[in-house]
A and B are shown apart, each in its own frame.
Chain A
Amino acid sequence: DIVMTQSPDSLAVSLGERATINCKSSQSVLHSSNNKNCLAWYQQKPGQPPKLLIYWASTRESGVPDRFSGSGSGTDFTLTISSLQAEDVAVYYCQQCYSTLWTFGQGTKVEVK
């Protein structure tokens, strides 16, 4: 299985400041056929199912605020919240869909400092 490792496990950021979450895969998730990375980011708030934020590593899902952005390629990826809002407090997960057996990162908890 492809192992997804996120860092840090948790971070505290002041409101209005930038939050950066990293995700590293144990092998490349870049499809050579279409030059797209099969990597998604999800946000999960307590008591709720996850919500899709980003797919293909950098494409924002419809309705997701533009303060959320994804970047990276191959094995190293980043989710950035450009200006943290109170409603962004949540756990964030990356997920690879490159192999037939998909895997999630362990999650990163984002809190307000």
Chain B
Amino acid sequence: QVQLVQSGAEVKKPGASVKVSCKGSGYTFTSYGISWVRQAPGEGLEWMGWISTYSGDTNYAQRLQGRVTMTTDASTSTAYMELRSLRSDDTAVYHCAREYGGTLDYWGQGTLVTVSS
């Protein structure tokens, strides 16, 4: 069965960086893209960006440009999302999701990133 398993919760100080991993299994990893979506406490879903697991091409949300980097490692079927210069409003649950044709059909369990001094 298709699964996306994410790394564990993180607590970071303002200005630091965080790198979240997302390991896919149960399907051919490079046949689907990966998107990252975050959700601040009590808020809605915010699309962060997308990466082609085949070519490494990326698209990032404009408001995160310059602070976010998405990468993949096909040899381990793992996608990564790094967010730099963390601020308190980056506190959120970060989800990875498998993408095909613009649709997000399987989601990871989410990783809580808390930014606090």
Chain A residues at the B interface, C-beta cutoff of 8 Å: 1, 38, 40, 42, 44, 49-52, 55-56, 61, 91, 93, 95, 97-98, 100-107
Contact = CB atoms under 8 A, between A and B. Distances in A.
A102 B95 contact: no
B35 interface: yes
Nearest to A50: B107
B105 A52 contact: yes
Contacts of B105: 52, 55, 61
A32 B107 CA distance: 29
User: Which of the listed residues B97, B103, B108 has the most CB atoms from chain A within 10 Å of its own CB?
Assistant: B103
A111 to B, nearest CB: 16
A49 B109 contact: yes
A55 B103 contact: yes
Interface in B75-111: 95, 97, 101-105, 107-110
Interface of B: 35, 37, 44-47, 50, 59, 61-62, 95, 97, 101-105, 107-110
Contacts of B104: 40, 42, 50, 52, 95
B113 to A, nearest CB: 15
Contacts of B109: 49
Contacts of B102: 38, 40, 97-98, 102
Given A50-B97, A102-B47, 17 more contacts: A40-B103, A42-B104, A49-B107, A49-B110, A50-B95, A52-B104, A55-B101, A93-B44, A95-B47, A100-B59, A101-B47, A101-B59, A102-B35, A104-B37, A104-B45, A104-B46, A106-B44
